[in-house]
Every structure is written in C-alpha cells, then in structure tokens.
Amino acid sequence: MTDTITRTALITGASRGLGLALARGLAEDGWTLIIDARGEEGLETVRAELAELTEVKAIAGNVMDPEHRRELAGAARESGGIDTLVNNASVLGPSPQPSLLDYPLGILEQVYRTNVFAPLALIQALRDGLRPGARVVNVTSDAAVEPYEGWGGYGSSKAALEQLSNILAAENPGWRVYWVDPGDMRTRMHQEAFPDEDISDRPLPEESVPGFMDLLTGDLPSGRYAARDLALSERE
C-alpha cells in the first residue's frame, strides 16, 4: 500500500464500540470504507457521519448470512478491491456468562458460528477482492488465552479464531494476518459480560485505535498483537 493510492477497508460490526472507533480513525486518515452491522438504523447514522470525511458504503446485515457476505464481497469488487478486512463483529453469548457445565450447546454453536465460522467465511468470499499485501485483522480477546471462569463459550471461540488466524497466516504469506486483542473497553458487550458492575473505569475503544492503525499502515509481520501495547511502544 502507498499513500498515493486510495486505501479501502471493510469493517464488520462498525455501528458502535471498537468497530465505530476504528472506522472513524480510518475515515479521518482518508480511507474509503465499507462497513456493516446488523442494525440498519444505527448503521445509517454512522454512514452519514463518516460520509462527511470520506467515501463510505454501508450494508446492513448479519455476517452469518451467506447472502450478506456476497453483498460485502460485491462491494469490495466494485471498489476495486480492499486493502484491509477487519473481522470485528462478534457475540458474547448469554449474559451473565454460564459455566461450561451449564452452557446451552445450541447457543454455544451460535457463538462459534458468529465468532469463528463467519470471519473465515467472509475471508473466503473476499479472497479475490483482497489486494496484494492486504491486511486481514481478526479481533480477539485476552479471554482466548486466559482461563477466566464463566468465559468458556466466548473465550474458547476466540481461541479457535486465533489458531485459525495463525494457520491462515502460514498458508497465505502474501497477506499480513493479525489477530489483535484490543484490551478491556467500555463497550456494550463488556457491560453485558458484567451486567451488575460499573465499567466506567474501562478505557474507551478509541484508546485501542492507534495500535490498530500501526498494524494497518506499518510493516509488522503476521501474528498476535495487543493493540494498546503497540500504541504505548509508539509513545516511548
């Protein structure tokens, strides 16, 4: 990627939280955007805001829906290809989180379908629309590597996504594949994970964006990164 070429990113789950913060950061940096979210009204509000800064196409839908993924792939082709895919959309599962012995298996399957299968399915749909040297970013969590009680469903799905990303990087050396832990954030999902707690002390998602920007514009190799550690190292 070069500064003389318009860079294009596709971000899922971009109507709030980290997805919205990252979309704003890229829009301010002049990227063309393709964004999605399940809520059409909220997504349109974001599209109108970002359209003041850059070219943006918003497509409402669920990443688990094959037709929606085809729409996103079509938008990528129409834009001339994309430089970055950010698989940010995910689900927590039940709130509060049950222990694994009590976890409803049907719901666990839906968590895996959203957090593991859908990102891979979208990558497969977009493979011909990814420009040379493209970045594929799969948003993960420290719950993928730490055995937090009550996080067996979400955490194990993110662990599966991490290993999927690791293998994807090995199989596709022409891409930069990153699995990125944004850190604890003050988001709706985090509040759902701790429904009875005050999470106002958690950092806003915007504090994780500089680390993502380092990955999308820098030359770091494929691998696992903590977004806020990257941002901190840049300041030191």
Which residues are known catalytic residues? 154
Q: Which helix (H) or strand (E) holds 134?
A: strand 130-139
Q: What is the largest CA-CA distance in the chain?
A: 54
- The answer to whether residues 16 and 9 touch, using CB atoms and an 8 Å cutoff, is no
Tell me which amino acid residue 213 is: M
Could you give the CA distance from residue 94 to residue 123 in angstroms, rounded to a whole number? 27
Burial category of 161 from C-beta neighbours within 10 Å (exposed 0-12, middle 13-18, buried 19 and up): buried
Closest CA to 11 of 136, 162, 115: 136
**Rg of the chain taking only CA atoms, in angstroms:** 17
Tell me which amino acid residue 164 is: L
Give the CA-trace dihedral at 25, 30, 33, 35, to 10 degrees: 20
Closest CA to 23 of 64, 55, 66: 55
Q: What are phi and psi of 13, to 5 degrees?
A: 60, 45
Report in angstroms the alpha-carbon separations of 181 from 158, 171, 229. 10, 22, 10
